[in-house]
Amino acid sequence: MASPEPRKRRGPIAARLLALDAWIDSSLYEIGFKARQFWESATIFSRRFRVNGWRRGIIEVLSEGFTLGAGGIVVMLALAIPAFQDTAGDWRAQGDFAVTFLDRYGNEIGQRGIIQRDSVPVDEMPDHVIKAVLATEDRRFFDHYGIDVLGLSRAIFENVRANSVVQGGSSITQQLAKNLFLTNERTLERKIKEAFLSLWLEANLSKKEILQLYLDRAYMGGGTFGIEAAADFYFGKSVKDLNLAEAAMLAGLFKAPTKYAPHINLPAARARANVVLSNLVDSGFMTEGQVLQARLHPADVVDRGEQKSPDYYLDWAFDEVKKIAKPGQHSLVAHTTFDANIQKAAEESVEFHLRQFGKEYNVTEGAVVVIETNGAVRAIVGGRDYGASQFNRATKALRQTGSSFKPYVYATAMEHGFTPNSIISGGPISWGSWSPHNYSGGSAGNVTLIMAMAKSINTVPVRLAKDHLGIGPIKAMAEAMGVESPLEAHKTMVLGTSGMTVMDQATGYSVFADNGFVGFRHGISQLVTRTGEVVYDFAKDAPPPHRVLSEQALKSMNTMLAAVPVMGTARRAQLPNIVVAGKTGTTQSYRDAWFVGFTGNYTAAVWMGNDDFTPTKNMTGGSLPAMVWQRLMVYAHQNIDLKPIPGIDKPFVDEEIAAKAEEAQKKSDAQAVADAAAERPPVLSSRTTQTLRDMTNLFQSAPVLNTPQPPETLSAL
């Protein structure tokens, strides 16, 4: 038997690989074994804590609470992240402009810039000034960390007990966060951001710095920002020299500066100051004896007259100055296009109708922009009360426009060869999964475009966009007409689902009043230095206007828009003997209501709704907004030379316009009857029809019965 061959010896590399493989196998086995041991031990351990009965219910509730709490924290962080992005900028800076504003007649109407930069360190302010502010606004300011939980709970309890808002729960830090980074819109998202930003401010600033910023940035009425500027405006002195009565009056302004502004309503300001003095005593900061002298001798103010500061207009005009001023130009005088009389009429109309009908329609806010035909912005109402909310709803709020967007669709159609008498089906339509309905819910049949505009039929502009125009040209037309708000190129845009500002709406519609041109709108007519050097002149330096609507399209559009107040949805906007053109708009759930209209002299856009986006009570654009517009325009057209609307020969309402409107109404009604007859199915047989005809003939040929008259009737004869 042959001896076996000797086995070949493995090399060192192979040996190492085998060793590595063995180590991996053994390690994996050990890890698996240890993991099974751990899981078994954990299972045995957890079984010792298994509970039953009512204890299990508590554990389950706590478990679900922790889960929901973790989810809520994630959601809140997601909402707060956009707010924190604002803190990355130079939020301490207030700008280096100092601008004095004059109205169209050369009268000073306010200042912006330098009036905000005057500052006195907190350490140099009198002790009673600081105490008056803290006692009224945030008594526990030095004890909480941005959010006063105890103060908030107390405020909620008092408000529930009084069944109204009698106390505010926001701390000074929260109010500062809102002033620096946020708006006054009453939404849950804004409150969450405010809470996170308050904590951020507390983490990054000392209490003294927070208080300093609050006193320097708060609006104090009369167009002033900051307590130092307010002290100079109301009392003609520095905050360092204020006595207790004056300090109490200023501390009372933080809550509602326009309501308690002493140059407007001195009795209300003194009553509010007395409340502040009581707060000083209740908080323990002072005794009744220390405040008695201030109660007996309330503060007197410098006579500034009763002219209200047009703060919403000034804020917008200040932004316009920043856009057009050249580098190195800081101290300027701005000649604006502001008209105090029209501004007052606009404010009065909004306030009058909200007071009269606000509860009925469940509406709390309104905004207005008035532009003269030459493009001059004459008035801006950004809300009811600038002291309560400096958020400008006329220039910054993006609200859905509803049917008031339709003129941009029809203008595009006019440029594509359609006319007011073009007939389009107003019947049901579906665009993918979207099936819009008319306001009345029914089908309109075949209608002319002028009737579709007047009656605000939804399906017609949708059919125009879907079958003839496309979304792109409509979006381009709106932007060409001066709309700066971001428009979503979505099919629902044709019914006004994109948000737009009131200023944009007034600008877009002013193209119809400005003979088809865009580029006239302006609020600053001239900028000059303190030495009188002209550094900007709108007439010379602004880009020249350009045409966006052809003459034929303009005439067609104005003919259609002039029919809306005559036979359409805006009858309440009619002016006595003056031709009016415009369009109403109402959004889903009645959240927003619009009327944007114009004459040959002015264009005005009116929006009404609620800051928290809650629905109104069936308020349409043809109701309250049209009424606000009408009351304002009646005043604006007094004692002026009336101009005709381009494409309409006369500025006055005459029989010709009324006849054309009536004729169009009759044609539309006749067409609707014809369409209905064509679609009506037969329901009677020929035999039944003949029987009914025979019965009719019998009734017609029957003799008249002689009814005997009563005796009293005969005697009377």
Residues annotated catalytic, as ranges: 137, 403
Nearest to 596 by CA among 450, 458, 379, 404: 404
Structure tokens at 703: 């003799």
Q: Give the number of other CB atoms < 10 A from CB of residue 217.
A: 18
> Do 430 and 620 form a contact (C-beta atoms < 8 A)?
no
- Quickly count helices (H) and strands (E) in the chain: 25, 16
For residue 496, what is the DSSP state?
T
Q: Strand, coil or helix: what is 578? A: strand
3-state secondary structure 643-709: CCCCCCCCCCCCHHHHHHHHHHHHHHHHHHHHHHHHHCCCCCCHHHHHHHHHHHHHHHHCCCCCCCC
Cα–Cα distance measured from residue 551 to residue 555, given in angstroms and rounded to the nearest whole number: 6
Cα–Cα distance measured from residue 374 to residue 12, given in angstroms and rounded to the nearest whole number: 96
118: left (phi over 0), alpha (psi -120 to 50) or beta: beta
The H or E element that residue 594 is part of is strand 592-598
237: which residues sit within 8 A by CB, 6+ positions away?
231
Cα–Cα distance measured from residue 113 to residue 98, given in angstroms and rounded to the nearest whole number: 4
Give the phi and the psi of residue 166 in degrees, each rounded to 5: -110, -20
Cα–Cα distance measured from residue 446 to residue 668, given in angstroms and rounded to the nearest whole number: 8
Calculate the CA 540 to chain-centre distance.
34
Strand partners, 609: 365, 592
For residue 543, what is the DSSP state?
P
Cα–Cα distance measured from residue 675 to residue 442, given in angstroms and rounded to the nearest whole number: 14
Handedness of CA 238, 239, 245, 250 (dihedral sign): positive
660: which residues sit within 8 A by CB, 6+ positions away?
none
User: Nearest-5° angle of CA 411, CA 446, CA 645?
Assistant: 35
Cα–Cα distance measured from residue 369 to residue 382, given in angstroms and rounded to the nearest whole number: 8
Residue type, 67: T
Q: Give the number of other CB atoms < 10 A from CB of residue 225.
A: 25
Cα–Cα distance measured from residue 457 to residue 368, given in angstroms and rounded to the nearest whole number: 26
The H or E element that residue 33 is part of is helix 12-47
Helical spans, DSSP H, in 260-419: 266-282, 288-296, 311-324, 340-361, 406-415
Nearest to 500 by CA among 489, 484, 512, 511: 484
Strand partners, 524: 336
